[in-house]
């Protein structure tokens, strides 16, 4: 009895550990500051929507195409936040996106529990889903379009294929929302129709088919696409494997990707045969749910391959969630298709090792990146409050686009429709209350494309970022002392250091700025870089580099 209770408690702890880490990250680091696309789909949309008087024109704005996507769900969230809070709060938007993470985990957990296996077998599922590699979905608003489409798709399959007829309409609504959350959502209703054929009655199937036709008609109403963006080549094959196998970090071997896909095809073939079999005692609704989910995720990967390959970009981190959900579905599928106890134990051991290893690697790499993004957001929010402009928006969209974003934000900020997250840089007087040290800061300008500024404290001066102590970089112009703050990427402590210091990060850190960004975003001049450190007691220490940076062509 004691052993069973101990196993249950240990299993519950391991189940909850990844979601708790995820929750803490969101709670600590989600901020009400716009990030890149937020200026377009958030601030820009809100400006158009609030300025428009006609109800019909407002509806057209809701349904308007965004690249290859229909993002009605995101826009409804933006309008809802604005109506309830009185302004567009990006922190709330981030939280809504993250609710989809937890909702997806709950659905897959309930689906897995249909197999009536031990709770301990569910543990890898939570580690697979709640690693932090798709960090842009976790700490900025990207989770609303990218996570919601997966959540509503899986929810739709779950409600329609598992539940009693009274859930049918709710499942169709979930499929409709998925269709208008992201471009890949257009796959949901057709897949739902196909698998409903094996599970539902004729009357229910007719309802699903009618809803599918209506949804597809609305989606493609006024739809347009540039066929020149669609690329099909030998690279498409490789990109697709990279996309679907992105859950396993740093693997470039195409043979591994092929083996990964072959495993999927074997499970898919076995699943289809058992769904069609009249004698199989396998849970057919569960298999239909798993197959529809896998085909949706694979279809989303194919769509991303066709439309993104032209840009010659690595797979963005916010798409990694497709791969991790794909792996989670494969994990459940194995237990659904194979009844041998020894096979299950072996597969659980493999899944537990792989998922905890990926989880650890993600913590070790992605926490640094996430903290750096939040630091950059807070630094540039301070720039906006002090200087009236965003100093370090990414410059790849061009000066014209950035100028429009700045004007849209200024318009909505002055009207009170957007507000800025408060941070420690708002309250300090750096000119009169800061201790100044000209040491421990190095400038590397050897790269043709960017400057690097590095904080290299001596071991006896190294402090950990605990008790509210914060660190930012800055550039200060020599002639008028005008200062621009920059986010810092800090070094992460080792596990032993974390235990000893109770701090994830120390003050070794750096910031890197594109020379192109500098020349197009801030005034020309001679700048001295440095770092500022602020404690809870508002004690401020500044460390300056002896070298300067010359910015021209502004």
The rounded percent of the chain whose pLDDT value lies above 90 is 32
540-544 and 434-437 strand pairing: parallel
Domain match, 249 and 134 both? yes
Cα–Cα distance measured from residue 26 to residue 140, given in angstroms and rounded to the nearest whole number: 9
Cα–Cα distance measured from residue 483 to residue 461, given in angstroms and rounded to the nearest whole number: 26
Which residue stretches of 200-319 are H helix?
202-219, 234-244, 254-276, 284-308
Buried b (16+ CB within 10 A) or exposed e, 372-402: bbbbbbbbbbbbbeeeebbbbbebeeeeeeb
Give the residue, 547 or 257, on which the prediction is more confident: 547
Helix (H, G, I), strand (E, B) or coil at 509: strand
Cα–Cα distance measured from residue 486 to residue 245, given in angstroms and rounded to the nearest whole number: 34
Domain match, 91 and 186 both? yes
pLDDT interval class at 234 (50, 70, 90)? low
**Mind listing the pLDDT tens digit for each residue in 195-206?**
888 888 888 889
111-125, 254-268, 512-526, range with the lowest pLDDT: 254-268
pLDDT interval class at 211 (50, 70, 90)? very high
Domain match, 360 and 462 both? no
- Domain closes at, from 336, 370, 404: 370
Query: Could you tell me which of 29, 176, 15, 25 has the C-alpha nearest to residue 105?
Result: 15
Domain match, 349 and 201 both? yes
Q: For residue 435, what pLDDT is reported? A: 67
- Flag whether pLDDT at 426 surpasses 90: no
Q: Which domain holds residue 102?
A: 14-370
- Domain closes at, from 348, 370, 392: 370
Q: Quick check: is 415 in a domain?
A: no
Q: For residue 264, what pLDDT is reported? A: 63
Domain match, 361 and 443 both? no
Give the residue, 287 or 257, on which the prediction is more confident: 287
**Mind listing the pLDDT tens digit for each residue in 375-393?**
999 998 988 888 888 877 6
Q: Quick check: is 396 in a domain?
A: no
Q: Quick check: is 400 in a domain?
A: no
What lies within 8 Å, CB to CB, of 489 at 6+ separation is: 368, 369, 371, 372, 375, 509, 510, 511, 512
Q: For residue 400, what pLDDT is reported? A: 76
Cα–Cα distance measured from residue 359 to residue 355, given in angstroms and rounded to the nearest whole number: 6
Domain match, 109 and 192 both? yes
- Flag whether pLDDT at 105 surpasses 60: yes
Other CB atoms within a 10 A radius of the CB of residue 16 amount to 13
- Flag whether pLDDT at 235 surpasses 70: no
Q: Tokens 């599970």 label which residue?
A: 199
Domain match, 177 and 288 both? yes
Report for 145-154, 212-221, 502-511, 543-552: range of highest mean pLDDT: 145-154
- Flag whether pLDDT at 79 surpasses 90: yes
Contact 438, 530 (CB under 8 A): no
Helix (H, G, I), strand (E, B) or coil at 123: helix
Categorise residue 312: left if φ over 0, alpha if ψ from -120 to 50, beta otherwise: left
- Flag whether pLDDT at 537 surpasses 70: no
Q: For residue 514, what pLDDT is reported? A: 81
Q: Quick check: is 395 in a domain?
A: no
Query: Could you tell me which of 415, 414, 433 has the C-alpha nearest to residue 424?
Result: 433
Cα–Cα distance measured from residue 89 to residue 72, given in angstroms and rounded to the nearest whole number: 18
Q: For residue 395, what pLDDT is reported? A: 53
229-233, 248-252, 491-495, range with the lowest pLDDT: 229-233
Q: For residue 461, what pLDDT is reported? A: 57
Contact 440, 461 (CB under 8 A): yes
Domain match, 254 and 325 both? yes
| Tokens found for residue 28 | 């600590």
Other CB atoms within a 10 A radius of the CB of residue 432 amount to 7
Q: For residue 343, what pLDDT is reported? A: 84
- Flag whether pLDDT at 4 surpasses 70: yes
Query: Could you tell me which of 464, 394, 387 has the C-alpha nearest to residue 425?
Result: 387
- Flag whether pLDDT at 230 surpasses 60: no
Q: Quick check: is 376 in a domain?
A: no
60-69, 339-348, 465-474, range with the lowest pLDDT: 465-474
Helix (H, G, I), strand (E, B) or coil at 96: helix
- Domain closes at, from 322, 351, 370: 370
Question: 468: which DSSP letter?
Answer: T
Domain match, 340 and 483 both? no
Cα–Cα distance measured from residue 120 to residue 140, given in angstroms and rounded to the nearest whole number: 33
What lies within 8 Å, CB to CB, of 455 at 6+ separation is: 440, 441, 471, 488, 507, 508, 509, 510, 531, 543
**Mind listing the pLDDT tens digit for each residue in 274-302?**
655 555 567 788 888 998 999 999 888 88
| Tokens found for residue 331 | 């994990």
User: CA distances (Å), 113 to each of 274, 334, 388, 485, 547, in order?
Assistant: 20, 14, 54, 50, 62
- This prediction's pTM: 0.89
Domain match, 150 and 289 both? yes
Helix (H, G, I), strand (E, B) or coil at 513: strand
Q: For residue 293, what pLDDT is reported? A: 93
- Flag whether pLDDT at 1 surpasses 80: no
Cα–Cα distance measured from residue 439 to residue 436, given in angstroms and rounded to the nearest whole number: 9
How high is the mean pLDDT of the chain? 83
pLDDT interval class at 221 (50, 70, 90)? confident
Other CB atoms within a 10 A radius of the CB of residue 206 amount to 12
| C-alpha angle 372-488-131 in degrees, rounded to nearest 5 | 20
Domain match, 461 and 343 both? no
Q: Quick check: is 384 in a domain?
A: no
Domain match, 335 and 244 both? yes
- Flag whether pLDDT at 220 surpasses 80: yes
Q: Quick check: is 258 in a domain?
A: yes
pLDDT interval class at 88 (50, 70, 90)? very high
Q: Quick check: is 66 in a domain?
A: yes
| CATH code (residue 460) | 2.60.40.10
Report phi then psi at 403, rounded to 5: -65, -40
Helix (H, G, I), strand (E, B) or coil at 423: coil
The total domain count for the chain is 2
**What DSSP element (H or E) covers 435?**
strand 434-437
Cα–Cα distance measured from residue 166 to residue 80, given in angstroms and rounded to the nearest whole number: 28
Alpha carbons within 13 A on the beta-carbon side of 14:
20
| C-alpha angle 96-397-393 in degrees, rounded to nearest 5 | 60
| Tokens found for residue 368 | 């640094």
């Amino acid at each position: 009895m004691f052993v069973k209770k101990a196993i249950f408690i240990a299993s519950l702890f391991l189940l909850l550990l990844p979601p708790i880490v995820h929750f803490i990250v969101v709670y600590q680091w989600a901020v009400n500051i716009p990030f890149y696309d937020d200026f377009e789909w958030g601030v820009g949309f809100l400006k158009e929507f609030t300025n428009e008087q006609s109800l019909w024109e407002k509806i057209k704005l809701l349904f308007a195409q965004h690249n290859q996507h229909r993002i009605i769900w995101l826009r409804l969230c933006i309008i809802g936040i604005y109506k309830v809070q009185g302004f567009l709060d990006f922190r709330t938007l981030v939280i809504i996106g993250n609710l989809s993470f937890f909702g997806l985990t709950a659905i897959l957990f309930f689906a897995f529990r249909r197999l009536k296996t031990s709770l301990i077998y569910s543990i890898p599922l939570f580690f697979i889903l709640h690693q932090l590699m798709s960090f842009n979905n976790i700490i900025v608003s990207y989770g609303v379009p990218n996570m919601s489409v997966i959540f509503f798709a899986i929810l739709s399959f779950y409600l329609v294929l598992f539940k009693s007829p009274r859930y049918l309409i709710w499942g169709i609504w979930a499929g409709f929302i998925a269709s208008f959350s992201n471009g890949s959502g257009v796959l949901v209703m057709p897949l739902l129709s196909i698998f409903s054929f094996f599970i539902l009655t004729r009357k229910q199937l007719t309802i699903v088919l009618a809803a599918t036709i209506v949804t597809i008609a609305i989606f493609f109403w006024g739809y347009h696409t540039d066929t020149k963006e669609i690329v099909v080549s030998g690279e498409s094959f490789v990109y697709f494997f990279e996309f679907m196998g992105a859950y396993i970090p740093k693997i470039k071997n195409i043979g591994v990707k092929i083996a990964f896909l072959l495993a999927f095809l074997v499970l898919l073939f076995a699943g289809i045969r058992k769904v069609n079999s009249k004698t199989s005692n396998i849970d057919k609704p569960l298999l239909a749910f798993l197959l529809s989910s896998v085909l949706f995720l694979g279809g989303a990967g194919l769509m991303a391959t066709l439309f993104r390959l032209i840009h010659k970009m690595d797979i963005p981190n916010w798409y990694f969630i497709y791969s991790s959900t794909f792996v989670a579905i494969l994990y459940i599928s194995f237990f659904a298709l194979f009844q041998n106890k020894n096979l299950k134990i072996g597969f659980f051991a493999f899944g537990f090792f792989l998922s905890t290893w990926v989880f650890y690697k993600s913590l070790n790499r992605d926490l640094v990146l996430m903290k750096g993004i939040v630091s950059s957001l807070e630094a540039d929010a301070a720039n906006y409050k002090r200087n009236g402009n965003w100093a370090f928006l990414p410059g790849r969209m061009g000066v014209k686009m950035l100028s429009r974003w700045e004007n849209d934000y200024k318009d909505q900020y002055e009207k009170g429709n957007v507000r800025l997250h408060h941070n420690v840089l708002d309250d300090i007087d750096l000119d009169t209350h800061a201790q100044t040290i000209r040491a421990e800061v190095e400038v590397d300008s050897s790269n043709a494309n960017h400057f690097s500024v590095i904080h290299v404290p001596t071991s006896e001066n190294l402090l950990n970022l605990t008790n509210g102590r914060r660190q930012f970089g800055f550039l200060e112009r020599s002639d008028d002392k005008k200062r621009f703050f920059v986010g810092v990427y800090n070094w992460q402590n080792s596990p032993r250091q974390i235990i000893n210091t109770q701090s994830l990060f120390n003050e070794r850190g750096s910031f890197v700025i594109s020379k192109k960004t500098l020349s197009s975003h801030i005034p020309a001049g001679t700048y001295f870089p440095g770092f500022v450190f602020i404690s809870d007691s508002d004690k401020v220490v500044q460390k300056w580099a002896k070298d300067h940076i010359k910015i021209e062509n502004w």
